[in-house]
Chains A and B, each alone.
Chain A
Amino acid sequence: MSAAAAPQGMFDCRDAYVATLEELAIVDPRIVAVVNDSVGSSKLGKFRDRFPDRLINVGIAEQNMVSVGAGLANGGKIPFVSGAGCFLTARAMEQIKVDCGYSQANVKLCGISSGVAYGELGATHHSIEDVAWLRAIDKLTVIVPADPWQTGEAIRAAVAHEGPVYIRISRMPVPALDRGDAPFAIGRAETLRTGGDVAIVANGTLVHRALAAAAMLAGEGIAARVINMATVSPIDIAALAEAAATGAIVTAEEGLAHGGLGGAVAEWCARNAPVPMRMLGFPGFLPTGSAEWLMQRFGLSADGIVAAVRDVLDQRSTR
């Protein structure tokens, strides 16, 4: 997928990421960026021009990139380690586990162009396993923002939070969501729409699709609650209890259908409030296709979510 400007009314969250990072870096000299020859794909060119000493390009070396980030944190910096999500997480998994999570280093990992943003480039370049992998790492906060505002807020929250954080930053165009004044907080979900018949728990690029699905369902007389579960780890238990109270849950994420957000929700529900669930996501290595084609193909669309809601409600009514 090219880095061309997003369609009218749609945004590339990388822009919010770098704008926020630059703004914070002006007042906080601890902030540095670490990249793996990914200045362009991370959109950090302006950051580099503005803070040439604070952009550390380690070259094409993801393991070293993450370890160097941990070292920079030891030296009092707040490193934003930015690279394509597929390489950052898979190549440097042990560095994320040991140097960041286990060491509780103050490193901020930014998985750029995560999910299936690289569409046609294939499974090597898809980062659909990242949330499942990283939520298994103790002490590591995992955030999947849904839109530009939330991306910026996640960056601010990561700076304020002492400890390792993974932020999944999409390049898939998303709209700015309508929301109230609720501030973003790590570990707190957003209820974007209330409803008592079913809950749709989504994050990232699936949130606006979940809202569209809920609007369609309203036309059928189904009141769907839409929860933006931006923080997957630690997950918002109170929001999950509210979701389970509807009696049925559909999860939707631009990632594996197992192990990620859907898995986290299912684990909690199985222990505390079992309800019928459907988990929308990808099954594994994917066929060739554009990002949007893949999303449609695997039901990660408003229509797909509507179908999953009908399906889960059928199960509930026939129990």
Chain B
Amino acid sequence: MSEDALIQRYNYDSFVPDNFMPWMRFDASPKLGDPAPDFPLWDLEGQESNLSSLWSQHLYTILEFGSYT
């Protein structure tokens, strides 16, 4: 799948099962106890950092995923 197609599919415009069900793969998510994958993230001003820069600052780090909708 091309990057443009992936972006379009991930950011679906209608909440119908064919659009949202394929993404819900909690069963295939990283295992507890194993090193977690790192990814780039941005703050609200568009400054880039990464996930590891968050967890490395604290004894424990809580990360809630979600959106406005």
Bind each other: no
Q: Which B residues have a C-beta under 8 Å from some C-beta of A?
A: none
